């Protein structure tokens, strides 16, 4: 359905430096440093990422440039998928390979026990965050207390593991398992590794982590910094995906030029026909005549309310 008023010859223009770069972040770089490197390569000033990856982790890091930064919050709440390798028999202070060894125990479990342990973590679970985390207590991150040798009580939080499967299982003197996890926002994979190790009775820590998807975005479409550094700027910009890549779960409402002009000027629109959305749903809004995203809105009581608008689009 395209909602129309009077025809208009007005047009829209946009900046070419608005979009989403799917970066394959290497191990050893912080998310902020990777973002800085990408900004320099693309020569873009306004940029942000959609949730950090620890330096120990590699994989998909969506970076937003220009107007796309207005919509980066949408991915902070998206489900994420990881491939993680757990080293069995060794517990560490940080629940990953960067920490000091706390305890070593023999690995006596078999493959059946491993698969049984994983089943216990599928679905909604309560998870105690690691001490080495950025969660704050009295204004200080927990890792500050941990580095000072203090362990604080942490309240378990509800998270959801939508999928959890064993990819490889190596048992013996040097035991490890590689698992694939799809989980909700706020899930600590380090804590998951710790808890799986405790159920197995041998302890474990996270040895490797690679993020393969964020929401509908996939690592298969990502590019490395090394690859970008070997291209000229125009070739680098060709890797930018449209802002709409951040909004794939949003229902679409099309407006003609005149309605789009009103919407982008902040006016609420009462539409003649109800779109196929539920009350209070957020929607992506297009100028159908130009086939361009102009912002997102919220549908309430038969009225489309502007919520976030693309300021790079202007009528002349």
User: Whole-model pTM above 0.75?
Assistant: yes
List, in order, residues 6 or more apart from 119 with CB less than 8 Å away: none
In DSSP notation, 59-76 reads EEEEEEEGGGGGGTHHHH
| pLDDT reported for residue 3 | 39
In contact, 298 and 315? CB cutoff 8 Å: no
Residue written as token pair 């997102």: 296
Q: In terms of pLDDT, which residue wins out, 132 or 222?
A: 222
Q: Inform me whether the pLDDT recorded for 214 exceeds 90.
A: yes
pLDDT in tens, 240-266: 999 999 998 888 989 988 999 999 889
Residue written as token pair 């490889």: 168
Mean pLDDT of 73-96: 93
Q: Inform me whether the pLDDT recorded for 72 exceeds 90.
A: no
| pLDDT reported for residue 63 | 95
Tokens for 109?
């479990």
| pLDDT reported for residue 313 | 53
Tell me the catalytic residues: 54
The helix/strand/coil state of 176 is: strand
What is the chain's mean pLDDT, rounded?
Answer: 88
Per-residue confidence at 9, pLDDT binned at 50, 70, 90? very low
Q: In terms of pLDDT, which residue wins out, 146 or 21?
A: 21
53 by Cβ neighbours in 10 Å (0-12 / 13-18 / 19+) ranks as: buried
């Amino acid at each position: 359905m395209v909602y129309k008023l009077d025809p208009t010859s007005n047009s829209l223009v946009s900046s070419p430096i608005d979009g989403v770069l799917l970066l394959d972040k290497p191990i050893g770089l912080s998310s902020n440093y990777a973002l800085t490197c990408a900004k320099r390569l693309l020569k873009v000033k306004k940029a942000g990422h959609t949730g950090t990856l620890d330096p120990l982790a590699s994989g998909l890091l969506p970076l937003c440039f220009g107007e796309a930064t207005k919509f980066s919050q949408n991915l902070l709440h998206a489900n994420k998928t990881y491939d993680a390798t757990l080293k069995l028999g060794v517990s560490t202070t940080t629940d990953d390979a960067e920490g000091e060894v706390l305890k070593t125990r023999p690995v006596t479990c078999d493959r059946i026990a491993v698969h049984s342990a994983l089943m216990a973590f599928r679905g909604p679970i309560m998870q105690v965050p690691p001490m080495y985390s950025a969660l704050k207590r009295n204004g200080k991150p927990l890792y500050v207390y941990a580095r000072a040798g203090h362990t604080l009580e942490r309240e378990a939080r509800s998270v959801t593991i939508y999928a959890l499967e064993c990819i490889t299982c190596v048992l013996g003197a040097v035991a490890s398992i590689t698992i694939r996890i799809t989980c909700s926002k706020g899930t600590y994979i380090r804590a998951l590794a710790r808890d799986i190790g405790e159920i197995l009775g041998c302890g474990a820590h996270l040895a490797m982590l690679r993020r393969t998807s964020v929401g509908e975005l996939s690592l298969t479409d990502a590019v490395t910094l090394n690859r970008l550094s070997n291209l000229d700027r125009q070739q680098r910009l060709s890797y930018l995906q449209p802002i709409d890549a951040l909004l794939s779960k949003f229902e679409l409402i099309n407006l003609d030029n005149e309605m789009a002009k009103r919407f982008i000027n902040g006016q609420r629109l009462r539409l003649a026909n109800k779109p196929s959305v539920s009350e209070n749903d957020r929607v992506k809004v297009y100028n159908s005549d130009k086939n361009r995203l102009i912002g997102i809105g919220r549908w309430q009581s038969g009225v489309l309310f502007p919520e976030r608008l693309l300021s790079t689009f202007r009528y002349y």
